[in-house]
Chain A
Amino acid sequence: MLIGNTAERFGFVTKTLHWLTLVLLIGSFTLAVSMVNMPFSPRKLEFYSWHKWVGVTIFLVVLLRLGWRLINPVPQPPQGTPPWQRRLAGWSHAALYAILIVMPVTGWIMSSALNLPVVYLGLIHIPSPFGVDRALGETMKVVHLSLAIALLTLVAVHVLAALYHHFVQRDDVLRRMLPWPARLKGTNAVNWKTQ
């Protein structure tokens, strides 16, 4: 099994962390959408705590991903990809990473400012330097929600781009990130359109 990345392929670690991020995001959004509309109840408090734990986990997973990315080669877009697509891919990936890092931070500041401190898994208290501040909490609520909308948009772009590569360009871009080992067509097949 390939642990690290090569110039053509993503290794086990990158793939695992990528799909783990998706599973955590689905969990986080599901909890978020149900908890905000619940009447005040023990279940609601429980959902909020779980949502915060998942958020902290996403933050840690994304830090790991960025660290792994630094010490590993990153497979490049297929040859012949137009520069504007390369640029767009670069920006959207950077934006995805940025939001996945910033969003948990805004949630943590919001929750702490509204006097519900974040205690990861009920064990590790993560104190906020900003303390309890209702106005700050309300501001962070708006920022957190805006980032959620931005994230959903970017994820949609990400998925559409992957499907475009797979079904329209018929290249390896989606296949090389599949969680199971996939046979790649190789760089020659990638450029069938431009050849």
Chain B
Amino acid sequence: MRPSRTPLFLARRSYRVRRLRDFARLLPVLGTFLVLLPVLWAPAATSAPDTAPDGIYLFVVWAGLVVAAAAALMARGLGSEANKTETGAGAAAEGED
């Protein structure tokens, strides 16, 4: 964050909003990867019981997804975006860029 630097292409704010939207799009992909990960562990299952650690891992991932999704909204990126598209004004430009 160097305040003196002027943005070259996009206003910093709209650039951030776009990247936030990318993040929101990627979040389910990341989540899918993480919850499918135990599939790869399973064959390696040894005699040691792993139900409890697996469960804890899954709940941690779950909580992480909730926090990340909430954080992305709180950053005022997507929630306000949904607002804007409702008026329809800036929507065409955004489209599915």
A and B form one complex: no
**A interface residues (Cβ-Cβ under 8 A, vs B):** none
